[in-house]
A and B are shown apart, each in its own frame.
Chain A
Amino acid sequence: QKEVEQDPGPLSVPEGAIVSLNCTYSNSAFQYFMWYRQYSRKGPELLMYTYSSGNKEDGRFTAQVDKSSKYISLFIRDSQPSDSATYLCAMSARAGGSYIPTFGRGTSLIVHP
C-alpha cells in the first residue's frame, strides 16, 4: 500500500459544479497537508495548506482534513473551465528540521463549459 492514495481520474464535470477531490494516507505521523494545482506542462503550485484537522476556506476552495480517518479533501465550488488541471495532494512529517513531502499521484480535473 502506498503512503498516499489518490484516484487519478479523469474527473469531468460541467461548469458550476461542486468538485470533491480526495486523498487517503497511511502514515499517522503526517502533520502538514497541502493541495497543489498543476496545469499541463507547468510546475505544481501550492493551492491550500492546512496543519490540523478541520476545514480551511479560501475563496471557492475548501480544504478538509480528518486525521482520525486519515482522509483529506479539496472542494471547489462553482467550478470554472480555468480550474481544469491536475490536483496533487501532498503531506509531510517534519523530521529533524527536514521537510520531506510525499505526493499523491494527482487527479486530473476537466471542467467543461
Chain B
Amino acid sequence: DTAVSQTPKYLVTQMGNDKSIKCEQNLGHDTMYWYKQDSKKFLKIMFSYNNKELIINETVPNRFSPKSPDKAHLNLHINSLELGDSAVYFCASLAAGGDEQYFGPGTRLTVT
C-alpha cells in the first residue's frame, strides 16, 4: 500500500505550457513538501504545507503554485514552463513532531 504517491510519473511538455503534478499521502501526516532534484542530484525544498497553510516558500518563482485541497493532498501547478524547470519533483510528508520524511517516487518533468 503506497504511502506517498505522485502522478504522473513522467511528464514531457513544451515550453510555455501549464501543467500540474499531484501528490497524495495516506499516512495521516500533517505536513507535506515539494522538492526539486536537478540533474546534479541536488534536492532543494520548494514548498511546505502544514494543515493547509503554506509555511515555507524558498524563493521559488511565482510560476509555481502549490494547492492543497485537503490534508492528504498537495498538488503542484506550474505556469509557463521553462527549459530550466526540467527536473525530478518529489513530494514528501512528515508526521506532527516527527523527523522522518516519507518521499514519493518522483515525477520526471522534461520541458522541450
Residues of A with Cβ closer than 8 Å to B?
A: 8, 32, 34, 41-46, 49, 86, 88, 92, 98-101, 103, 105-106, 108
Contacts and interface: CB of A to CB of B under 8 A. Distances in A.
B106 A46 contact: no
Interface residues of B, number: 24
Interface on chain B toward A: helix, strand, loop, or mixed SS? Answer: strand
A101 B101 CA distance: 10
B99 A105 contact: no
B34 interface: no
Contacts of B78: none
A86 B41 contact: yes
Given A8-B41, A43-B105, A43-B106, A98 B99 contact: no
A34 B99 contact: yes
A41 B100 contact: no
